[in-house]
Amino acid sequence: MPRRHSLTIVVLLAIAATPAHAADVLWAAKAQTMPLQVVGYATVEPRSVLRLRAGVAGTIANLTAQPGDPVGANAVLGQLTGPSIDTLLAARRAAVTTADAAFKAAQQELAIERQKFAARLSTRGTVARAVAAMSNAQADRDSAHAALAAAEDMASIRAPQAGRVLTVDAYAGQRISADETVLTLLPENDLWLRATIYGTDADSVSAGATGQFVPAGGGATIPVKVRAVVGALRPDGGRTLNLVSVATAPGWLDGETGTVTLDAGTFSGVAVPTRALILDQTKWWVLVHTPKGDVPQEVALGPSRGGLTLITAGLAPGSAVVVEGAYLEFHRGISERYQPPD
């Protein structure tokens, strides 16, 4: 029994530590802080699309816009014609003519009453009633003009703001119903970035985080900022970010793809050369040099940058870490220690 117990101790020591080698290159682990960066795939997309709809039923005329055409604010892109529109416009124009005439007559009546009052041929009450009549006539005139403008606007397909035509969903001569889409418009400078990020680092990104977008096709790097983090996870486990350009006119194009790198704060730990890390059975290790030999030490990894990786747990500052040949030394003799199953 004592001899068997002694052999067991020898085997455990062989697994726990490996002899130091003269060729070992050691690294003194130091506490360090690194910026945490998160990288994701991104696509430039419209933030909003305007659908230009028919205000009333009619037939499309003078529709010359094509996809990709730039348009100015309030530009007329097409007209609606037909019996219903013609009837509506005729009625509104007649109402404007009547209202204009009534207002002019009320002005004249007020002027007469004021002259009569000055000549002591009218009363103050009569003048006040003429003033009220003119005010009512003016309100009616303004309402009639507004109604005509609304009818004319319904008969026109207008761009509410500057932008670019995305799609044309109708053609000249087509009969169209009220509220049916005729064109879609991408407002000017209304593109943003949709990015997808994965992993635990995604939880460190929040609204307001800044970074850079690098177009896949080349071109200048564009500074961006996270506008919002979509709460729901994608089916593949990714998280969606909405980002906007820091610059007023970034110059990116709808559908452009690339990568986005976001600054997500800082990370503190113990820095070691990345080549000193050893992956074994889904766990990360380093070899720590001690007076008794090189001892495997399991560690938890943080971010990497410039050939260094932060160790967030498992390694103390000042530890001497084997750098050169660490992987081979870690696995040296594993075949001798391996015992096949019975």
Domains and CATH numbers, the chain: 17-34+267-337 (2.40.420.20), 38-48+189-265 (2.40.30.170), 50-186 (2.40.50.100)
Q: How many CA atoms lie within 13 A of 77 on its CB side?
A: 31
Per-residue pLDDT band at 6 (split at 50, 70, 90): very low
pLDDT digits (tens, 9 = 90+) for 51-81: 988 888 889 998 888 998 999 988 888 888 9
pLDDT digits (tens, 9 = 90+) for 167-190: 999 988 899 888 899 999 988 878
DSSP conformation letters of 115-140: HHHHTTSS-HHHHHHHHHHHHHHHHH
Percent of residues, the chain, with pLDDT higher than 70: 89
pLDDT digits (tens, 9 = 90+) for 243-255: 999 887 788 888 8
Residues sharing a CB contact under 8 Å with residue 111, sequence separation 6 or more, in sequence order:
none
Q: How many residues does the chain have?
A: 342
Phi, psi of 143 (to 5 degrees): -65, -40
